[in-house]
């Protein structure tokens, strides 16, 4: 059996209705996982469901949920455990992004972005790690951070702070959850064009896009590039890896 195999694993993927999360769901299903697709838009989650490999021994499910509504999250996790018996892995792709100068970042914006990108991730982790939810054998939790957690760009301070918080939390969570054999890591992608950024100025304006492309030694990435790294961190191929951030950035942070 390949160490990348995810057969019989129950993997919860947030942000599965779009972009990187959708591609990760497709990737995990190809490696045999039973995938729980989570996001707010049920229609787009069902579209993702239709894209998954679905062999006779696989069982996927759609669970629409707003991750900033903590009661909804608690309900979702108990439904997953009721239906599938346990959770073996969590891939937290849900997130929001913006490009805003300091003067435009109100306290309201800070709250919105920290709620969506940080508090929801922490709350989700707390819920899945409650007794009886995660597999007794352990498993893997992966957060989607960003290269913005370690490099700077004009207008990216708000987004960067939220992604930096995820990246900073990984090491201590890894220390705390190792006794349950739960590994915790993050992935920091460079730029992959998806609905999160396609209308932001650094993508939409040709000159700025060219400048951005030149910052990636290998050019802009594809959602598959990130999804392959996610499959690695969810699978036994990474069984001796916890508490790390894996940059999947086409060389953005090498320069
Ligand atoms: N694309 C990039 O260049 C890039 C680079 C670095 C890091 N990242 C990170 O990678 C992750 C995925 O990004 P993406 O490019 O795939 O973005 P995307 O296509 O916009 O997808 C974002 C996903 O997050 C979900 N989401 C947002 N707020 C939510 C909430 N309150 N509750 C539940 N789900 C919520 C959306 O679900 P609904 O639409 O169903 O609400 C959607 O499925 C994000 O965390 C992003 O910060 C992306």
The CATH number of the domain where 44 resides is what? Answer: 3.40.50.720
At residue 39, the 3 state secondary structure works out as strand
**In this structure, are residues 233 and 246 in contact, taking their beta carbons and an 8 Å threshold?**
yes
Closest approach atom of ligand 1 to CA 41: 40
pLDDT of residue 55: 96
Count of domains observed in the chain: 1
Cβ neighbors of 209 (< 8 A, separation 6 or more) are 202, 203
Residue 232 lies in a domain: yes
| Closest protein CA for atom 8 of ligand 1 | 146
Q: How far apart are alpha carbons 125 and 106 in whole angstroms?
A: 28
Residue 200 lies in a domain: no
Residue 206 lies in a domain: no
Instruction: Give residue 99's domain range.
Output: 10-193+222-248
Residue 210 lies in a domain: no
**Residue 212 C-alpha to ligand 1 middle, in angstroms?**
20
The yes-or-no verdict on residue 1 having pLDDT over 90 is: no
**In this structure, are residues 141 and 128 in contact, taking their beta carbons and an 8 Å threshold?**
yes
**In this structure, are residues 165 and 120 in contact, taking their beta carbons and an 8 Å threshold?**
no
| Confidence bin at 142 (pLDDT 50/70/90) | very high
Residue 198 lies in a domain: no
For the chain, percent of residues with pLDDT exceeding 70: 100
158-188 burial, b at 16+ Cβ within 10 Å, e below that, comes to bbbbbbbbbbebbbebbeebeeeebbbbbbb
Q: Is the CB of 101 under 6 A from ligand 1?
A: no
Residue 211 lies in a domain: no
**In this structure, are residues 20 and 221 in contact, taking their beta carbons and an 8 Å threshold?**
no
Q: How far apart are alpha carbons 171 and 185 in whole angstroms?
A: 8
Q: How many CB atoms lie within 10 A of CB 104?
A: 11
Backbone φ and ψ of 188, nearest 5°: -115, 95
Whole-angstrom CA distances from 77 to 42, 67, 86, 87, 183 are: 17, 11, 9, 9, 19
Residue 152 lies in a domain: yes
Task: Report the predicted TM-score, pTM, of the whole model to 2 decimal places.
Answer: 0.98
Residue 168 lies in a domain: yes
| Confidence bin at 206 (pLDDT 50/70/90) | very high
The residue to mutate among 13, 15, 39, 115, having the most atoms of ligand 1 within 8 angstroms of its beta carbon, is 15
pLDDT of residue 201: 87
pLDDT average, residue stretch 186-194: 97
The yes-or-no verdict on residue 167 having pLDDT over 90 is: yes
Closest approach atom of ligand 1 to CA 23: 16
pLDDT average, residue stretch 112-122: 98
- Tens digit of each residue's pLDDT (9 = 90 or more) over 76-88: 999 999 999 999 9
């Amino acid at each position: 059996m390949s160490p990348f195999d995810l057969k019989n694993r129950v993997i919860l993927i947030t942000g599965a209705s779009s972009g990187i999360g959708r591609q990760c769901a497709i990737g995990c299903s190809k490696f045999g996982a039973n995938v729980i697709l989570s996001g707010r838009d049920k229609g787009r989650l069902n579209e993702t469901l239709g894209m998954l490999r679905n062999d006779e021994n696989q069982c996927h499910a759609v669970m629409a949920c707003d991750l900033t509504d903590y009661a909804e999250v608690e309900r979702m996790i108990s439904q997953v455990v009721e239906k599938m018996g346990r959770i073996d892995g969590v891939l937290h792709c849900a997130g929001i992004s913006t490009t805003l100068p300091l003067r435009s970042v109100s306290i309201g914006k800070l709250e919105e972005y920290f709620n969506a990108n940080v508090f929801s991730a922490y709350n989700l982790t707390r819920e899945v790690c409650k007794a009886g939810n995660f597999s007794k054998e352990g498993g893997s939790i992966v957060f989607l951070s960003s290269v913005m957690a370690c490099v700077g760009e004009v207008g990216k301070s708000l987004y960067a702070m939220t992604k930096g918080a995820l990246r900073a939390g990984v090491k201590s969570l890894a220390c705390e959850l190792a006794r349950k054999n739960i590994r915790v890591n993050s992935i920091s992608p460079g730029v992959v064009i998806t609905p999160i950024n396609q209308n932001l100025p650094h993508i939409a304006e040709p000159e700025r896009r060219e400048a951005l492309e030149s910052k990636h030694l290998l050019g802009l990435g594809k959602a598959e590039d990130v999804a392959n790294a996610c499959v690695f961190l969810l699978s036994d191929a990474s069984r001796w890896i916890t508490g790390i951030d894996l940059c999947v950035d086409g060389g953005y942070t090498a320069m």
